[in-house]
Structure 1
Amino acid sequence: MSKEILIIRLSSIGDVIHCTPVARSLKAAWPDCRITWLVGEVSADLLRENPYIDEIIVWSREKFEKKLKAFQFKEASEMWRELRSKLQKKEFYAALDIHGLFLTGMIMREVKTTRRIGMRDARELNPHFMTKTGKSLGKHITDKYLGVLSCLGIQSVDHRMSLSIPEDAKAFAKRFLSDHAVLAHEKIVILIIGTTWPTKNWPPAFFIEAVKLLAKDFRIIMCGGKGELNIGKDIEGQAGVKVVNAIGQTGLLEMAALIEQASVLVAGDTGPLHMAGALGVPTVGIFGPTDPSTYAPLGEQNAIVSSQLSCNYCHKQRCPKGEASCMNSITPQSVVQKVYDVAR
């Protein structure tokens, strides 16, 4: 009988991508195991086509916590009951908590299993919910996640991330490039101009300068969510060169399909950077408050540009100095040089 394994990693986009080596390594060690993944709504599409995952359960931590904060306890309780019902439909050989919160520890209590495995350095009392905890294999975030497998006796691991793009998203990318007269022989640089943290954002003026420097050899495509619409328009308007603005025009997998066509992607430490890493697309990661030795995509095709200030890698969402000095210290010229170094 095949082993049933549950992975819990609800969000975010980058962390879900970083967690996919766990599923890959499990399937390599136990080819007949069945993997179920509990994931949030935003990141669910990243897993639907993953060949190492047999089933996904979608549950929104964000909606649940929003209802609690709004004192909508009846609605929150209903969400919890629905989740509990889904989890208890089968008994799992092991459940792996690769999120590491008090909430995910509570979710683990609802799982029918005798093996509740988590990360040794998890926060919010999470390890107290576990029967075993795994020590990180190294400094990179994938090492931290893969460490849980040692509790199952799995020593051989594969750090490669995985992201599969469905045919309809690939067809979208083909149409989009055709509609914007991007020719097959042209090299594409995709710019991701925003992140989820203010401190991880590279200044728009620097993107404008980088666009000017790159435009003579590359077609420039900007991607991102609707929250970057105004910044994207400013960059497009002030660059003075041809820029394809796809901001707010793609879903997550449609963006991934565009990224797959790129010669290189430029971004701060944000989800699309790691999507590109999973797709094998060369990247230039711009790092300030987060440590690239922990979070940058692995592989020689991936370059980093980081601040040399003494206060870098503070891992704070708000700059203690109030000026985001680390990202402001990274010049457009240094980023552009890395693009030329790694572009395929």
Structure 2
Amino acid sequence: MKSPLPANPRHIAVLRLSALGDACNLVPTIRALQRRFPEARITWIIGKGEHSLLAGLSGVEFVVYDKASGLAGMRELWRSLADTRFDVLLHMQQALRASVLSLGLKADARLGYDKARAKDFQHWFTGHRLAPHPNAHVLDSFMDFARALGVEDDRPEWHLPVPAQAYDEARLLSGEAPYLVINACSNARLRNFRNWSVAGYASVIEHAWVQHGLKSVLTGGATPLEQETAGQIAALCQPGSVVNAVGATSLKGLLALIDKARVAIAPDTGPVHMANALSTPTLGLYATTNPDRAAPYLWREFVVNAYPRAVRAYLNKSVKDVPWGQRVRHAEAMTLIETDEVIAQLDALLDATAHQGARHEH
């Protein structure tokens, strides 16, 4: 007979290894658990990069698993936790690798997704399942784990740790003048067509510079695609209107850059959710993923949403006729986003958050 879910857990394990955006969307669940169970220990088993982003998160003990370490890394992690028994394991990663990792963890109760949301046979590895929640945003899917443990206060809070040296790092790149952050590229995964056009970004940068006096800081990793894209964007822009900081920041430095930005613009990738977590006004560009599921949570009304058009154009269906979470894996899908609609949403976002300008202009 399986153990019931604990009414007052003393030690909670959270298993979620990746990705950066999902890690940001999970933090409100951690905060909700901390409000409900202030005496409980919370151990988060997390990926290496994700830990670099969230290191120092208050009240959380991290155990880091580097996916590149494979089974040997799992065995090492299991050894490190051999004497630890959790009251409950919250299995929040719908991937077989994470489920295999969970087998070496000791827990009285294991909670995973309901069968409709579970992937890679995750429901075989958990004794308890969430109540169904059709068409849930990613953040709310994570919050369902807290709700299953009796949490009622589910307001989203983050309080991400950003050290002082990260702000120093950001200031060296951005200077003191107000700026936008533009993270043009998403992860270069197979058939992950989330990147908008070079010409489109250059037009938005021109508009922000001429109409609002805002320069743009380009951010991203050091991959050849990201560096090439940033170089192409910068080459189309007026001198002084753009700073190319691609590959030039740590993850904490990126957080600091975003925190001080007037607005952040990005497709469905980690920085759009970092910006959301920092309460920086956020403009998400969506065509291949459904923003109702994955938009920056606090800024959903300002998303540029070409997803319905992409579903119609490339799947020959309407949004209501495709599975929740369906992606449009077509290289041309993001071209359905028009420059004029991005500029219009930027203007609307700047106008709606004019009171925040003073917070960022220092």
- Report the TM range for the smaller structure's normalisation: 0.7 to 0.9
Shift in Å, 1:174 = 2.5
What's the counterpart of residue 152 of structure 1? Answer: 149
Q: Distance in 2 between matches of 1:247 and 1:310?
A: 29
| Percent pairwise identity | 25
Q: Distance in 1 between matches of 2:202 and 2:173?
A: 23
For the 8 Å contact 1:200–1:268, the answer to whether it is kept is yes
Distance 1:173 1:274, change over 3 A: same
Shift in Å, 1:244 = 0.7
Q: 238, 241, 258: which is aligned to 1:240?
A: 238
User: How far does the alpha carbon of each residue in 1:20-57 deviate from its partner, in whole angstroms, 9 at most, with x for none?
Assistant: 1111111011011111111111111222121242x101
Shift in Å, 1:226 = 1.1
User: How far does the alpha carbon of each residue in 1:163-187 deviate from its partner, in whole angstroms, 9 at most, with x for none?
Assistant: 2211211221223333xxx43xxx3
Distance 1:13 1:310, change over 3 A: closer
Q: Distance in 1 between matches of 2:68 and 2:120?
A: 17
One-letter code of the match for 1:204? V
Q: How does 1:54-73 map to 2 (within 5 A)?
A: 55-64=61-70
Shift in Å, 1:298 = 2.2
What's the counterpart of residue 311 of structure 2? Answer: 311
Q: Distance in 2 between matches of 1:174 and 1:195?
A: 24
What's the counterpart of residue 135 of structure 1? Answer: 131
Distance 1:52 1:290, change over 3 A: farther
What's the counterpart of residue 281 of structure 2? Answer: 282
One-letter code of the match for 1:249? A
**Structure 2 portions without partners, runs of 5+:** 1-7, 313-318, 320-324, 354-362
What's the counterpart of residue 118 of structure 2? Answer: 122
Distance 1:42 1:310, change over 3 A: closer
Q: Distance in 2 between matches of 1:165 and 1:106?
A: 33
What's the counterpart of residue 167 of structure 2? Answer: 170
Q: 186, 209, 231: which is aligned to 1:215?
A: 209
Distance 1:255 1:149, change over 3 A: same
Task: Indicate the larger mover: 283-292 or 203-212.
Answer: 203-212
For the 8 Å contact 1:7–1:38, the answer to whether it is kept is yes
Q: Distance in 1 between matches of 2:119 and 2:75?
A: 25
Q: How does 1:95-106 map to 2 (within 5 A)?
A: 95-106=89-100
Q: Secondary structure at the match of 1:225?
A: coil
Q: Distance in 2 between matches of 1:271 and 1:136?
A: 27
Q: How does 1:1-344 map to 2 (within 5 A)?
A: 3-53=10-60, 55-64=61-70, 76=71, 78-120=72-114, 121-135=117-131, 137=133, 139-178=136-175, 182-183=176-177, 187-196=178-187, 198-216=192-210, 217=212, 218-227=214-223, 228-242=226-240, 243-299=242-298, 303-307=302-306, 308-309=308-309, 311=311, 315-316=326-327, 318-319=329-330, 323-324=331-332, 326-343=333-350, 344=353
User: How far does the alpha carbon of each residue in 1:45-93 deviate from its partner, in whole angstroms, 9 at most, with x for none?
Assistant: 222121242x1011112442xxxxxxxxxxx3x3222011122231111
Task: Indicate the larger mover: 293-302 or 193-202.
Answer: 293-302
Q: Distance in 2 between matches of 1:265 and 1:316?
A: 23
For the 8 Å contact 2:9–2:87, the answer to whether it is kept is no
One-letter code of the match for 1:56? F
Shift in Å, 1:151 = 3.4
Shift in Å, 1:210 = 1.5
Q: Distance in 2 between matches of 1:81 and 1:188?
A: 46
Provide the alpha-carbon RMSD of the alignment.
Answer: 2.1
Shift in Å, 1:208 = 1.5
Q: Secondary structure at the match of 1:284?
A: strand
User: How far does the alpha carbon of each residue in 1:72-122 deviate from its partner, in whole angstroms, 9 at most, with x for none?
Assistant: xxxx3x322201112223111111111122222222221111111111121
Q: Distance in 2 between matches of 1:147 and 1:14?
A: 18
